[in-house]
Amino acid sequence: MSNTLLTPDLIGQLGRLDIIARLVVEGFLTGLHKSPYHGFSAEFAEYRQYIAGESVANIDWRVYAKTDRHYLKVFTEETNLRATILMDCSASMDFSAEKSRLTKKEYASYLAAALSYLLLRQNDAVGLVTFDEALLTMVPARSMRKQLFQVLKVLDDLPPGSGTRLGPVLHGVAERLQRRGLILVLSDLMDDPVEIMSGLKHFRHQGHEVVVFQILDPRELDLDFAGEVEFVSMEDPGSKVRLEPAHMQETYRRKIDSWRKNLRYECRRQKIDLVEITTDTPFEKGLGAYLRKRRRMY
């Protein structure tokens, strides 16, 4: 499948996350990146039948004694990279200005699935953390084949989100991760910028590499709505305001631009990669940013 056809609208029609992850990754990344493979430990994965001529070093002789058949122990090598995907599931992520377009949460889910598939395909370890105003789910990073099933199971069953407290959550996750690795944050970053940067700096202080994917709906950037519109807070449905966006577009865009410019500046200062994506953007932009980050790391 051509990457020019792999649009968010098409992705939204495909259904199953495992299929989407494979198509997104294999559709346009095959051959572009190979993970450096620095195995330093091995973890038992499964048994498979011995084939004549293979080394007998990993034959399980206990199994042979019971079954009278030769089976090899298959091990999964762990690499130097352990990646943790942090996915924002707060209520603001459920927004889409158009019914035909993916919500920010759906877009983030597909991106998380594709990143997980890619990392595990490279024999890297991947984990997943979901959160809103508190930690929801934490799948520890592992490089075994069945890890993709665990990650997709969580992504397939995301609960409705509530409020956002991104800063404290980032601090909490940073305290739990004992080993340095790659942190991939998927969020609209709609929270206190000072607290967000404090949490991200916590990861950097501990030696993690950090890539932040800021996912926004296009209308959140330009407020391009026609006529009078009623706006309802995603995180406080009782908070409503009715207005004609055209009367405040200029002021709104100026404030949005200032907010984003400040985020870019602070991320550059902390050597954090900020990838700005809108939900009408094909997925190769986000994945391409990840690959460029990986090339700089190794």
In a domain, 126, yes or no: yes
For residues 279 and 213, is the Cβ–Cβ distance under 8 A?
no
In a domain, 1, yes or no: no
For residues 75 and 47, is the Cβ–Cβ distance under 8 A?
no
- pTM equals 0.74
Q: How many CB atoms lie within 10 A of CB 285?
A: 14
Q: Among 67, 82, 71, which Cα is nearest to 46's? A: 71
Cα dist from 83 to 140, 250, 282, 290, whole Å: 10, 40, 23, 11
Q: How many CA atoms lie within 13 A of 14 on its CB side?
A: 20
The answer on 153 and 290 residing in a single domain is yes
Q: What DSSP element (H or E) covers 106?
A: helix 104-121
The answer on 45 and 145 residing in a single domain is no
pLDDT recorded at residue 8? 64
The 3-state DSSP class for residue 233 equals coil
In a domain, 2, yes or no: no
- CA separation for the pair 239, 219 (Å, rounded): 19
pLDDT recorded at residue 25? 54
The answer on 220 and 156 residing in a single domain is yes
Name the E strands within 100-187: 125-131, 135-142, 182-187
Quote the number of domains for the chain. Answer: 2
For the sheet containing 273-278, what is the strand order? Answer: 135-142, 125-131, 82-88, 182-187, 209-216, 273-278
The answer on 49 and 125 residing in a single domain is no
Question: Which pair of tokens denotes residue 161?
Answer: 């989100």
Q: What is the CATH number of the domain that holds 138?
A: 3.40.50.410
In a domain, 218, yes or no: yes
pLDDT recorded at residue 52? 65
The answer on 233 and 146 residing in a single domain is yes
The answer on 215 and 288 residing in a single domain is yes
- In sequence order, the β-bridge partners of residue 152 are none
In a domain, 72, yes or no: yes
Secondary structure string (H, E, C) spanning 1-31: CCCCCCCHHHHHHHCCHHHHHHHHHHHHCCC
pLDDT in tens, the chain (298 residues): 334 444 566 555 545 555 555 655 555 444 343 443 333 345 555 677 766 666 677 788 888 888 888 887 765 544 458 899 999 999 999 988 888 889 999 999 989 988 888 888 777 899 999 999 899 999 999 988 789 889 989 998 888 777 788 999 999 999 999 888 889 999 999 999 999 999 999 999 999 989 999 999 998 998 877 767 676 666 666 676 776 777 778 888 999 999 999 999 999 999 999 999 999 887 777 777 777 766 665 5
- CA separation for the pair 107, 127 (Å, rounded): 18
The answer on 165 and 64 residing in a single domain is no
Question: Which pair of tokens denotes residue 80?
Answer: 């130097």
The answer on 267 and 186 residing in a single domain is yes
The answer on 238 and 182 residing in a single domain is yes
In a domain, 209, yes or no: yes
Which of 77, 95, 127 terminates a domain? The answer is: 77
The answer on 186 and 71 residing in a single domain is no
Which of 51, 77, 103 terminates a domain? The answer is: 77
In a domain, 25, yes or no: yes
The answer on 139 and 55 residing in a single domain is no
Q: Determine the distance from the C-alpha atom of residue 276 to the mean position of all C-alpha atoms in its chain, rounded to a whole number.
A: 13
Write down the residue that tokens 């990143």 correspond to.
Answer: 115
Name the residue type at position 108.
A
The answer on 15 and 97 residing in a single domain is yes
For residues 16 and 294, is the Cβ–Cβ distance under 8 A?
no
For residues 224 and 245, is the Cβ–Cβ distance under 8 A?
yes
| Domain interval for residue 118 | 8-36+79-297
Q: How many CB atoms lie within 10 A of CB 51?
A: 8
